[in-house]
Structure 1
Amino acid sequence: MTQTYENYIGGEWTGSESGETQDVTNPADESDIVSTVPVSSTAETDEAVAAAVDATDEWAGMPGPERGAILRETGEILKSQKDELAETLTREEGKPLGEAEGEVQRAIDIFYYYAEKARDFGGTVKQPSGGRAGLQTKKEPMGVAALITPWNYPIAIPAWKIAPALAVGNTVVIKPAMQAPTVGAKIIEALDEAGIPDGAINLVCGPGSEVGERLTTHDDVDVVSFTGSASVGEHVYDQATNNGKRAQAEMGGKNPTVVMPSADVDKAADIVGAGAFGGTGQACTATSRAIVHEDVYDEFLDAVVDYAESLEIGNGLERAGMGPHVSEDELAGSLEYIDIAQDEGATLETGGEELTGGEYDAGNFISPAVFSDVEPDMRIAQEEVFGPVLAVIPVSDFDEGVEVANDIDYGLSASVVTEKIEEENEFIERSESGVVKVNEKTTGLELHVPFGGLKRSSTNTYREQGDAGLEFFSYIKTVYRNS
């Protein structure tokens, strides 16, 4: 069933000025049109920002518990629609239905979490000196927040930006990715049904070159939050900060898992395989490098190849082990890196082929790829692929493993698989990444703790999620009272 969505501006659903629309198709079956959305420009963007400005006083002036009640009701509405939302997510993004269900639940939990945070969001009271009657801090919303979100987690990432921005009293304009905007639009529907004031939340569908560019430079936008590729994120951050805005950009990753001889090798292969091939490798935290001690290298390689070959590739609605790439362009990018890796001398142990025939002809399918004989300076070991492609790199000891893990332009997520507590502790201390895990896959995040990276993975200004999300969308006012 095809759904039709318009922009949501000032409490009204409205099309683009040009009337142009775009079909969103199922990457597992491109004849399946999931939704039709408007292709908007700067005109609609300006209208959305103006609506957000007009709603600022009403939304910021609403008591925190009342804002929290609207966020909680939004979570309840999303909960009642969980099965439908998960199916829509799978149809437009491609990930297996089980993964989609988990992502939808995460969005629900995020709204519940920030609903409670809105209740006690405030400041601190300090003991004054002299004859002052009081000394305190007061937290205030930044104003109008522009949110630019990606397609790979099309309900979770919008939720973890929208909820904290609204919780502290900002009004919002969000631009979802055009490859998968439908479940993001359903968040807006839920907020509308929950009774959010007109203009407090606004949705504009359109290309980043117009809508995103306008949001990052608009005089009435106060804060910009972006998730996407490093090249685009760096541009967004520079534009936003050059125009005097607070900004954050969470970007790419080239995430390692270091496997030591003390590890259970089969367990390590399961951890790496799940991190590398879950979501078709289309995650900024996906495991793209397995850095393995030479004593267990061959055993690990056999085990992770078995893992890759055991995955059933197919339509996510049928709960396949791995779904398709989100688009033909993304598939082409992975296939290009398969060729680059072989040209550089890496050995393709399994996978890396575009799948054709039968149901595969209708979608963007690839078999999960595992490479051996990978040198740390090869492009396959240095550049983000954003697909189910794993480079397995041998090292002679723990120190070399840590050095190879860190010798990269990115620093988002990293893990170590070991049974030695001293290696766990040292890896935690020495890892140059914003997220460090022990005996876990590099993917998967808790919503109540900060998330963000180092190096080119992040602008490293403010973190997302947890209390850090609230801090980004607010500023501190210090109040002196004299008697």
Structure 2
Amino acid sequence: MDFDMTSGKVQNASMYIGGDWVAGATTETVAVENPATEEVIATTPIGTQEDAIRALEVAQIAQASWAKVPAVQRGQVVRKLGDLITARANDLAALITAEQGKPLDQARGEVAAAAAFLYYASENARRIEGDIIASDNVNEEVQIRRHPYGVVVGLTSWNYPAALATRKLGPALVAGNGFVLLAHEITPLSGLFIASLAEQAGVPKGLFNVLTGYGRVVGQALVQSPITSLVTMTGSNRAGQEIFRAAADGMKVLRLELGGKAPFIVLGDANIDKAVEAAVAARYTNCGQICTCNERMYLHKDIADEFLEKFVAKSAALTIGDPMESPDMGPKVSGVEVDKVQSIVQSALADGAEVLLEGGPLTQGRFKRGHWYAPTVLEVKDNASPIVQSEVFGPAVAAMRVDDFDHAIAQANDTEFGLSAYIFTENHRRIMQTPYALKFGEIYVNRANGEQVHAFHNGWGQSGLGGEDGKYGFDGYMRKQSLYMNWG
């Protein structure tokens, strides 16, 4: 494959199976579109069930040998892959911007995160630990040991195609597993780029495979295969539920990071300027296409006017344009996504929402081609409003006034999602109450979003199962075994 982006296109895009670039079992392809121009920059194979099974089979063979390699050596290979990604950071960032649409400076940030996930995973090679516990029997001890699952399947979303891939790949390989990645059909090129560096990093042929195509065919085959032991997926709530059902008969272990509907609470004693800056960053970064984004704002009635005046002004001042020039916002990833955001906004308006900043789809002049949506701010009085309850995943947000801390908490918890939440307050007592009151797996206090590689990223409720990152995330890529050692 040719990843030289000087032409703006990727030539000969193929799947990576068994250490080889292959076209797949059929000649059918899917177009990869530049969201800013609607130009087709590549075509990738539409994978089949046969392709999925082949990838799993070669991964299973390679994993049997990989599991016997000392963990520290596995970690060295993963670190080398991180080094190669870092060395090619500009190329990968340009590729991400071309296929996904995020501004180039934000794409560079994603590449740095992709490498950081691998570096952290490599450091865990010496942290694979077990326990020895006393037995109730004479001349006996009990060992709790950790082993790799075998073959792990990774399913990723289109919003962070490189970082989400390495977030799963790194710990899976260090733990001794094989890995098969189904790159999202909208943004498959980043995963293929990472695969192009794998052999150079020392990843054995067959251990890491990248498929392209559709989840309903390739993904289902991967999830249902008896070879697959663990499925790690980042995506929509609907997709997660479908995977849950497909994995049930095979009793697969699942790690599902699904949708979010993060409340952004600003209390009366908050630092307003700091809260506004964080609210803007948490709503509009990556055009609002982040699962931890600020999705709904609950503002204490005493500071609501001041906050909204400043928030609307900063929202209106954001630059929108060619993502290669690093504006504040690039395009949405697709026309379907633009239509989804607009549908939610229109439903909220029909339900009585007030327009504070009228943005919406941009279709004229320099925005005639591409998938553009300007920042939109609404105010609602009812927590049941469609824009409050549905995940927007775009640059539109609703605000609602609340009376006090308890009122804000009640409204924030009124959702089926439980991924992330924000609160701004200078009251130490309120800060200490927050983790007991908010029913979310990740809470940001007086800061914008952005998780760290050594922490733990997980959702509650409909936002998922399992989790990623840190020692808890790494432990999820190994299964435990109890060994009763009797020498009597």
Q: Identity of paired residues, percent?
A: 33
Match of 2:4 in 1: none
Shift of 1:127: 5.0
> Do residues 238 (structure 1) and 242 (structure 2) align?
no
Evaluate the alpha carbon distance shift between residue 374 and residue 81 of structure 1 in structure 2; reply closer, same or farther with a 3 A threshold: farther
> Do residues 17 (structure 1) and 21 (structure 2) align?
no
SS at match of 2:283: helix
SS at match of 2:362: coil
> Do residues 187 (structure 1) and 194 (structure 2) align?
yes
2:474 equivalent among 466, 470, 477: 470
Match of 1:282 in 2: 289
CA distance in 1, matches of 2:108, 2:381: 35
| Ranges in structure 2 where 5+ consecutive residues have no aligned partner | 1-6
Letter of the 2:292 counterpart: T
Alignment of 1:240-255 (within 5 A): 240-255=247-262
Match of 1:339 in 2: 346
Letter of the 2:72 counterpart: P
CA distance in 1, matches of 2:80, 2:136: 44
> Do residues 101 (structure 1) and 105 (structure 2) align?
no
Q: Is the 8 A contact 2:30 2:213 kept in 1?
A: no
Alignment of 1:308-457 (within 5 A): 308-441=315-448, 443-457=449-463
CA distance in 1, matches of 2:483, 2:363: 66
Q: Is the 8 A contact 1:133 1:482 kept in 2?
A: yes
Q: Is the 8 A contact 1:64 1:120 kept in 2?
A: no
Query: Larger deviation: 296-305 or 22-31?
Result: 22-31
Letter of the 1:27 counterpart: P
Q: What is the TM-score normalised by the length of structure 2? A: 0.95
CA distance in 2, matches of 1:34, 1:481: 59
CA distance in 1, matches of 2:468, 2:275: 29
CA distance in 2, matches of 1:105, 1:374: 41
> Do residues 479 (structure 1) and 483 (structure 2) align?
yes
CA distance in 2, matches of 1:351, 1:366: 11
Letter of the 2:480 counterpart: I
Shift of 1:182: 0.9
- What whole-Å deviation, never above 9, does each CA across 1:181-240 have from its counterpart, x for those lacking one? 111111212222111111111111010110011111111111111111111101101221
CA distance in 2, matches of 1:74, 1:29: 32
- What whole-Å deviation, never above 9, does each CA across 1:313-369 have from its counterpart, x for those lacking one? 112111111111000100111111121111111012113321123321121001011
CA distance in 2, matches of 1:120, 1:444: 25
- What whole-Å deviation, never above 9, does each CA across 1:18-54 have from its counterpart, x for those lacking one? 11222212101112x3333211111111111111111
> Do residues 144 (structure 1) and 151 (structure 2) align?
yes
> Do residues 264 (structure 1) and 271 (structure 2) align?
yes
CA distance in 2, matches of 1:122, 1:376: 47
Letter of the 2:75 counterpart: G
> Do residues 76 (structure 1) and 83 (structure 2) align?
yes
CA distance in 2, matches of 1:50, 1:90: 33
Query: Larger deviation: 63-72 or 18-27?
Result: 18-27
CA RMSD of aligned residues (A): 1.4
CA distance in 2, matches of 1:120, 1:419: 38
Letter of the 1:40 counterpart: G
Shift of 1:253: 0.8
Alignment of 1:193-212 (within 5 A): 193-212=200-219
Shift of 1:134: 5.2
Match of 2:225 in 1: 218
1:89 equivalent among 96, 114, 118: 96
CA distance in 1, matches of 2:486, 2:293: 55
Shift of 1:178: 0.8
Q: Is the 8 A contact 1:269 1:303 kept in 2?
A: yes
Q: What is the TM-score normalised by the length of structure 1? A: 0.96
Q: How many residues align?
A: 479
Shift of 1:131: 5.2
Match of 1:125 in 2: 132
CA distance in 2, matches of 1:225, 1:86: 24
Letter of the 1:375 counterpart: D
CA distance in 2, matches of 1:351, 1:137: 59
